[in-house]
Structure 1
Amino acid sequence: MHRTRTAAATALALALAAIPLTGMSGPPGAAGRQDPAREARDRPAGAISPAPQSVRPRSDRVTITPAVTVVADPKADATALAVVSKSLRDAGADRVVRAEQAPAGRRLTVYVDGAGAASALRDLGARGTGGLPAEGYALAVGDGRIALAGKDATGTYYAAQSLRQLLPRRDRPGAQVRGTAVRDWPATALRGVIEGFYGTPWSHRARLDQLDFYGEHKMNLYVYSPKDDAYLREKWRDPYPADRLAELKELVDRARQRHVEFSYALSPGLSVCYSSEADLRALTAKFQTLWDIGVRTFAVPLDDISYTDWNCAADKDRFGTGGWAAGTAQAHLLNRVNQEFIARHPGARPLQMVPTEYYDVEPSPYKKALAARLDGNVLVEWTGVGVIAPTMTVAQARRAREVFGHPILTWDNYPVNDYVTNRLLLGPFSGREKGLPGQLAGITANPMIQPAASKLALYTVADYAWNDAAYDARASWGAAIEELAGGDARTARALRAFADANYSSALNPRQATELAAAIEEFDHDGDARRLDAALRDLQDAPAVLRERLADRGFVEDGAPWLDAAHAWGGAARTALRLIEATKAGDGARAWELRQRIPELVRTARSFVYVDMTGRKIPVLVADGVLDTFVEDALAAHDEALGVIGRPKASTDLPVHQDNAVSRMTDGDDATYFWSGAAPRAGSYVAVDLHAERPLGTVTLSMGRSGSPDDYLHHGVLEYSSDDKTWRRLAAFDATPEVRVTPPAGTTARYLRARAVQAQDNWLVVREFTVAGADRVAVSGGPPAAPGSALRSAADQDPATAYRAARAAEQGEALEFTPDAPRSARSVTVLRPQGAPAGEASVEVRRGGVWRPLGTLSGAYTRLAAGDGAIEGVRLVWRGRAAAPAVNEVILR
């Protein structure tokens, strides 16, 4: 069970949580989009993100002069002024000078706050900051001047960030900047990020980089709550070592410079005694050490703990048992902290907490106790309906507010990936209803273990939280790619291909949307050039990103996924060439390509993420898209050859990490499918044999050494010819190994094992195999090597091969006898690449007489079979030095 919650947030101004969104206007083109993917690509340079509440183009322009004067109010925010000055220099200004008033002449003047900015805004026909909420700002560019003003210091800083985006990047003066008027404010008061995942905590350097990113994107909250910081959880009573405290102080200072509130979230629930005066003193003493280094926002998360087992007998004696008792005990501790620490520290923000029941809106005794007993000014964090909520609605938020009886701050578990560490989640923030921010105290997002890679999704979170009315997930995603690529078209193209291949999540259920669309187009029109271009973009993307992407952290974070993307791109392009060769009837070329694919796929699946415990986890890229495309290409080649191929597995159960359903039929008992949930009544695993065929023994091997009880405890084996009408083959109970031999003459295309009762254990299937009546018997020699078998040369699966244990003797023969004489136009012999020509002659038997057809010509031999039913085929070896090998002999 995955639970990745803790606390987060500051309270800034809770009254802002209900800012009305009516009457707002987004940037040009923000409404009525018909093609979000195209809109993302076509987003104009200089667009402001997050999208302002009101932005109006002017008909004039300003010029970046060699010297620019900044006239600033004496109390103007120093960090905002630094952003303005740097942005002007980056736009081509040689000098940026401060002055009390505008100089004579045509020099560009920038007014920051105070009377000068107010006057300039009026002259430019722009409204000032009157009537704006906290963090709002006004900005105008035109008529030879720029004016910006904030409702407060943070608003001025945000105005400077918007100006930074409007200005171009040039290495000399003279750039023209289009006239613009902006009036802007946030849709919700709190907008931020919670480092609250399980697994490898972020490095100190990465946290500093993240704080810079948050300030640039108008996010005002960072919650320090890494699950694996022992001083937050297991050792919560212990003081930080001096070096760790110094690092925290550096983070607090950087956050303040970037107008980001640093929130410290202490999680005592694993061992706290709620009624203990000593534990209360330990908790507030820990908070005091953080207060002394500048922290002003505190949280007490009580998630991912048991509230049915007390940590001390005194709590049971005082509060009793059950949900109401747990809520009462937690409220008691939190109220003491709120009244005896927060209230006694002027400047402290309202206390925040994460309830133990943080993931639904159902009334319960626990929630009722919190609603009734917890101080009313404490913020309650909530993940939505579900730990990872695919959607979140206005109605749900209202209901959460009613059930918890307190202001709600969402702890949104996206793009967190600690429960799927084999994936990067690079898609946009989606599934959140417009109007939701207006119902909340704020929105915070739990990011990935990979900090730099999280920026793509966090960019879109910032867009939504600031202005949900103008938010378009795909457009924001495209803009995030453009920003991270630094405006370089080649880098952006590579990053888009890579992000698309890592797109899916609980919020974005479709994987690799653009690549999947390219495959669908190819299936429809057969134009291989367009699809090959898309696959080449993915194959080349890792090299481009490693060479050109400025954010080296992203390259470091994504290393194994970049390697896998390159390898999967190569495998898929080879599969595409296989399809084209098969269509063209070029059997030799198709077989050559076919033999490359297994090793390419093995390589693509070989890359691993190494977690903090040293565990190696195979990574997934475009799963369900590229692997399916490759499998379909192999199946199409099988069909063209006239063989059935390896059975295809399926299930209606979710998959746990990389334990794919295809592992049920890979012929390797050491690999396995592992479900991501317990089977319900009716849940199934199935195999498609690709054609109606006689059924031999059916074997279902379940469970594994580490999870011996993960098998279907009560089930039935069934078979079908059409995947609709099913017949029972056998029932089984309480056994992980099922082996059934059907009655003679039983035929089917589909088999499945179906649960007849729900169970608690998940399901592991090592192998699901179906032996068929051998349609072709193989005999003769040389004998097969250990691990191989004669029958592999005619088992309807070109991926398997008979390999001889020794070299063939002159005249020795390998003979193939079908179950009945067959009419065939040709005999095809498939052998490993590099097999020598002339190694054997090929003969067929008709009327009891062997007749020559020709000789083996290499890896691919196709000989006309002549007239009449064929009773047998044999390869008569010519006594070469190497041991022979045969993948398949096919009569067609």
Structure 2
Amino acid sequence: MASPRSRLLRHIIVIAVAIIAAISLVMMGIARAKAVEPEDPAGGSSNPHARAVPDIYPVPQSETADGVRVNLRGKVTLVVGAETDRAAVKAVKETLTTTSHRRVRTLTPQRASRIHGGSVIYLGTIADNSAVGPALKQLGVDGASALQHDEGYVLATGRIHHRPAAVLAGADDVGAFYSAQTLRQIVRHGSVAPAIVKDWPLMRVRGAIEGFYGTPWSHAARLDQFAFYGRQKLNTYIYSPKDDPLLRAKWREKYTGKQKKKLKELVDTATANHVKFTYALSPGNDICYSDKSDLDATVAKFDSLYKLGVRDFYIALDDIEPELQCEADKEKFAGHANGFKNLADAQAYYLNAVDSAFVKKHDDVGPLQMVPTNYNGSAADPYKGELGKTMNGDIQLQWTGESVVSHRITTKDTLAAQVTYGTKANPRQLFIWDNYPVNDFAQDRLFLAPLIGRDSDLYTATTGITANPMIQSYASMPALFNYADFTWNGPAYRPKQSMAAALKYVAGPSAKTRRSLTAFADLNQNWQNDTKTPSAPQLVADVARFWKNYDGRRFPAGSALAGRAQLISDMPHDLKRLAVPGFYDDSVHWIDAAAHWGHAVTDALHMLKAVTRDNGTAVVANRKKMTDAVDKATKATQPTLNKGTLVPKVGDGVFQKFITRAKATADSYLGVTPPAGGGQTARTSMTAYGDNSPANMFDGDPSTKFWTDAAPQIGDYIGTDLGAEKSLSSIKIRQSGSDDSTGDMMYHATLQYSTDGETWKDAGTFDNRPVIAKKFDSPVKARYVRIIAQAPNPGGKWIKIREFAVGAVPDGVTSTIPAADGTSLADLVDGRVDTSWTASRKANRHDAVTKVFDERTVKSVTVLGDSTGTIQVRRHGEWKMIGSLKDGYTKVSVRRGDAVTGVRLVFAHGTTPTVSEVIVK
């Protein structure tokens, strides 16, 4: 057997040999790399696979890392034709000058022989730049597969005449422009990456329709949208803002003055970015389809817009009454017993007339587009069938999928809809109005989840998609980025990767900013309770991991949840640095709300840590900080056009669930338990929307709600059963989205109470009151309380009830000081730390709150609240001081063995006490 020393020596020798061998291999690899990839003095690299092609979005049809690196930091010459697209030339020059910080020399193909040294960029179509075709040929690149498609392009790198070069060849002007957008994405470290890209779109129509209700986009935001569309290869914008009266209420009138000037700027900016500005007229509310004067007004309106540069026109017949408006129409279109068929005939008559009188008179105008009155579903019905038979076959129809808001849009359903809106022999060519990420129905939300639920081969069944975005134009950009990716190349679309790229685009180069924006997007995921769009998945994972550790009695100092809470808390600072600053401005109220939730989570973690350390003072202090942060997070700050000021919602309810569990853990430690027996239950004639159940009215959390799924009619009611008859001192019902906004609520309510649920007494009538509050001069007996509608709600608005609180006079609890408004003695013993009794005045000497009970052994008295004074217990009929009250948390032990029949808090003279809970154990 060898000695330990000899074994150690052999071990050292083996390690040394291994290290020498490893170093040799590394050096051989370096030498091999240098042999394969010599540096070209002119800036090109001959290694075709030296680096993968940088990410390109939309994802191209074909890309390989062939060619050479093209240095842009030295001398660069741009070869363009006299007719090469100006927007493409401008985009390429911006990329080159930004990279090189030098003036780029521009030559025509005829003068290309004068190029001496440096790198060369060839840009244009084969028709407008005679150098492009030969350049592709010299590179050995066959671009036919891409250049036969409208908007297609080829981008290839290599050496031409021994110089590093990039060729940007477009099938047309748009293709040349799109090649410039791809060039921008593959420039890295001062060079064009080695690449051969052959690309074209699979959908012809790709873009957005500004078709939502609510606050419209600003003029500046629309201009920025067009620049964004150009960069992302989106080619369509449908102008349909509901705030423009010249689209709807005054649709017959023409634009003049400032309105005309602004519209002209929109059209010109869209055109400069190769975006088709489509004007959507909405005459359906008062049109007489057969009236020649209305046809003439339409043609005159379109003709005036044509003079401004508009070349794509649209008739929107959505969101109108499905019936004929004028007597002339009712007489002319009466051929069917079914009124929907007659409506379809009238609309087809009008649309066909517009098509003939205007669209077909202009060779440079695109096909007429329209959205029908019945715009969703693939199942046949009389309206769709009749419209399909009578409307001109080349009029393009827009459709929203199987539903108004469709979670899934399939190729099968779309093909079926083509037949439904056309005929079996001649299916109707249609494109999709996709209602995502639109938030006009939920203006307290942002939707930042990636686009999902669309078949990858949908391009085989539709000419394209226009997304209906959010009221927040810049916050809509991530989803629109996804649409650009999906409509360009659906089979290659990967939702998560595409959204990551979208967020990187918005955030810019800072890794910290990207992390912050990614975390913010995680808080704004859930799309109408879509099962495929989970709620805040990253936050959920961190919360689950934390509770697993906490339940296992492990409390890591630097948990992932603590780190995420800090990241969220820092968002107001970090997201001010976005590359797209408008996103911050759009989202600021959601960002601030998220930060408050982040602070609340941090405070909750400190509170839970204090529980593990048996530090009641710290538990209460951090619980209060947490509650204050939640109050800030749930404050109404987001203004809307017609729904008041709303509470911006973030986190998809995950924050609330975490805080609720953290509170329960802390309250259990403090000894707070809800009083036994007879909790509140709901009694209502109305049903809930989704999971917004009536029980939410009684959970003590104003961020949850009972939300009805319909507007109230006269006699509809919402109320509570207290479980037993009680003496009521106050009632407070918090409606709508916040205490100071009139949104969804019962607008004309009478407050009632009853002992038997049959005979009711009125306690007041409340009109347009988000908060219904009643304080009784003297307690009233009741078991049932409700509000009952005295009239229908305006505008068919639903009802939200966030809290339905009934203050009952507790047995055995008295006070020498009246309660302040909005508080009651019941709050002292209701088992909820978040409710408090507050004195209505400063305490005089001997002012006290007293709780008496049957004789029992008491081990401790805990008082939560902000008050000073003394704590007393009654033994053998006499009150004895057992300790002093202090702000926040006071726990005093009681001598064992003594029977106690009461507890009294005697307040310090001149103080205004607040007591959250008195806990006797």
Q: Normalized against structure 2, the TM-score is what? A: 0.79
Distance of 1:298 and 1:878 partners within structure 2: 76
The residue number in structure 2 matching 1:476 is 498
Q: Which of 509, 526, 529 matches 1:504?
A: 526
The residue number in structure 1 matching 2:6 is none
Distance of 1:242 and 1:378 partners within structure 2: 32
| Counterpart mapping for 1:158-197 below 5 A | 158-168=178-188, 175-197=190-212
Q: Which of 424, 429, 444 matches 2:466?
A: 444
Distance 1:706 1:498, change over 3 A: closer
The alignment covers a number of residue pairs equal to 798
Structure 1 residue 537, shift from structure 2 partner = 1.3
**3-state SS of 1:230 partner:** coil
The residue number in structure 2 matching 1:200 is 215
The residue number in structure 2 matching 1:96 is 104
**3-state SS of 1:58 partner:** coil
Structure 1 residue 879, shift from structure 2 partner = 4.9
Q: Which of 676, 696, 707 matches 1:674?
A: 707
- State yes or no: 1:110 paired with 2:145: no
| Runs of 5+ consecutive residues of structure 1 not aligned to the other structure | 1-42, 718-728, 739-750, 754-758
| Counterpart mapping for 1:483-882 below 5 A | 483-506=505-528, 509-526=533-550, 527=556, 529-546=559-576, 548-612=577-641, 615-644=644-673, 653-654=688-689, 662=696, 666=700, 673-677=706-710, 762-765=798-801, 768=804, 774=810, 777-779=812-814, 781-808=816-843, 810=845, 813-818=848-853, 820-832=854-866, 835-836=867-868, 839-843=869-873, 845=875, 852-868=881-897, 870-875=899-904, 877=906, 879-882=908-911
Structure 1 residue 784, shift from structure 2 partner = 3.8
Distance 1:665 1:730, change over 3 A: farther
Q: Which of 370, 374, 384 matches 2:387?
A: 370
| Per-residue Cα deviation, 1:224-281 (whole angstroms, up to 9, x for no partner) | 1111211011101111113322222222222222111111111110111011011111
Q: Which of 77, 88, 92 matches 1:84?
A: 92
Distance of 2:864 and 2:253 partners within structure 1: 69
Q: Which of 243, 264, 271 matches 1:249?
A: 264
Instruction: Indicate if the aligned counterparts of 2:870 and 2:881 stay in contact, CA closer than 8 A.
Output: no
**3-state SS of 1:272 partner:** coil
Matched residue type, 1:458: L
Aligned Cα root-mean-square deviation (Å): 3.9
Q: Normalized against structure 1, the TM-score is what? A: 0.81
Matched residue type, 1:592: A
Distance of 2:721 and 2:179 partners within structure 1: 60
Out of 234-243 and 274-283, give the one that drifted further.
234-243
The residue number in structure 2 matching 1:419 is 441
The residue number in structure 1 matching 2:166 is 146
**3-state SS of 2:131 partner:** helix
Distance 1:861 1:325, change over 3 A: same
Distance 1:45 1:638, change over 3 A: farther
**3-state SS of 1:431 partner:** coil
Q: Which of 152, 159, 174 matches 1:136?
A: 152
- State yes or no: 1:356 paired with 2:386: no
Structure 1 residue 869, shift from structure 2 partner = 7.0
Structure 1 residue 413, shift from structure 2 partner = 1.1
Structure 1 residue 636, shift from structure 2 partner = 2.1
Matched residue type, 2:180: A
Distance of 2:235 and 2:890 partners within structure 1: 69
Distance 1:733 1:377, change over 3 A: farther
**3-state SS of 2:873 partner:** strand
- State yes or no: 1:402 paired with 2:419: yes
Matched residue type, 1:334: L
Matched residue type, 1:358: Y
| Per-residue Cα deviation, 1:669-707 (whole angstroms, up to 9, x for no partner) | x9974324479xxx9999999xxx988699998999998
Instruction: Indicate if the aligned counterparts of 1:129 and 1:151 stay in contact, CA closer than 8 A.
Output: no
Distance of 1:140 and 1:686 partners within structure 2: 71
Instruction: Indicate if the aligned counterparts of 2:865 and 2:887 stay in contact, CA closer than 8 A.
Output: yes
Distance of 2:642 and 2:539 partners within structure 1: 34
Instruction: Indicate if the aligned counterparts of 2:469 and 2:476 stay in contact, CA closer than 8 A.
Output: yes
Distance of 1:536 and 1:137 partners within structure 2: 46
Distance of 1:386 and 1:806 partners within structure 2: 59
The residue number in structure 2 matching 1:334 is 351
Distance of 1:560 and 1:702 partners within structure 2: 22
Distance of 1:164 and 1:135 partners within structure 2: 17
Distance 1:591 1:695, change over 3 A: farther
Out of 473-482 and 566-575, give the one that drifted further.
566-575
Distance 1:452 1:116, change over 3 A: same
Distance 1:408 1:697, change over 3 A: farther
Distance of 1:149 and 1:649 partners within structure 2: 71
**3-state SS of 1:55 partner:** strand
Instruction: Indicate if the aligned counterparts of 1:64 and 1:93 stay in contact, CA closer than 8 A.
Output: no
Distance of 1:218 and 1:125 partners within structure 2: 27
Distance of 1:799 and 1:469 partners within structure 2: 53
Structure 1 residue 423, shift from structure 2 partner = 2.0
Instruction: Indicate if the aligned counterparts of 1:808 and 1:877 stay in contact, CA closer than 8 A.
Output: no
Distance of 1:126 and 1:238 partners within structure 2: 54
Structure 1 residue 593, shift from structure 2 partner = 1.6
Instruction: Indicate if the aligned counterparts of 1:801 and 1:887 stay in contact, CA closer than 8 A.
Output: yes
- State yes or no: 1:347 paired with 2:360: no
Instruction: Indicate if the aligned counterparts of 1:610 and 1:616 stay in contact, CA closer than 8 A.
Output: yes
**3-state SS of 1:343 partner:** helix
Structure 1 residue 138, shift from structure 2 partner = 1.1
Instruction: Indicate if the aligned counterparts of 2:808 and 2:826 stay in contact, CA closer than 8 A.
Output: no
Structure 1 residue 708, shift from structure 2 partner = 8.7
Instruction: Indicate if the aligned counterparts of 1:138 and 1:150 stay in contact, CA closer than 8 A.
Output: yes
The residue number in structure 1 matching 2:770 is none
Distance 1:471 1:870, change over 3 A: farther
Distance 1:274 1:631, change over 3 A: same
Higher relative contact order (CA 8 A, sep 6+): 1
- State yes or no: 1:271 paired with 2:286: yes
Distance 1:752 1:148, change over 3 A: farther
Distance 1:781 1:230, change over 3 A: same
The residue number in structure 1 matching 2:16 is none
The residue number in structure 2 matching 1:883 is 912
Out of 615-624 and 588-597, give the one that drifted further.
615-624
Q: Which of 223, 227, 233 matches 2:248?
A: 233
Instruction: Indicate if the aligned counterparts of 2:858 and 2:894 stay in contact, CA closer than 8 A.
Output: yes
| Per-residue Cα deviation, 1:45-76 (whole angstroms, up to 9, x for no partner) | 93111011111123743322411112234432
Percent identity over the alignment? Answer: 36
Structure 1 residue 444, shift from structure 2 partner = 0.5
Distance 1:664 1:164, change over 3 A: same
Instruction: Indicate if the aligned counterparts of 2:205 and 2:463 stay in contact, CA closer than 8 A.
Output: yes
Distance 1:825 1:476, change over 3 A: farther
Instruction: Indicate if the aligned counterparts of 2:226 and 2:273 stay in contact, CA closer than 8 A.
Output: yes
The residue number in structure 2 matching 1:64 is 72
Structure 1 residue 663, shift from structure 2 partner = 5.0
Structure 1 residue 412, shift from structure 2 partner = 0.7
Distance of 2:687 and 2:538 partners within structure 1: 25
Matched residue type, 2:480: L
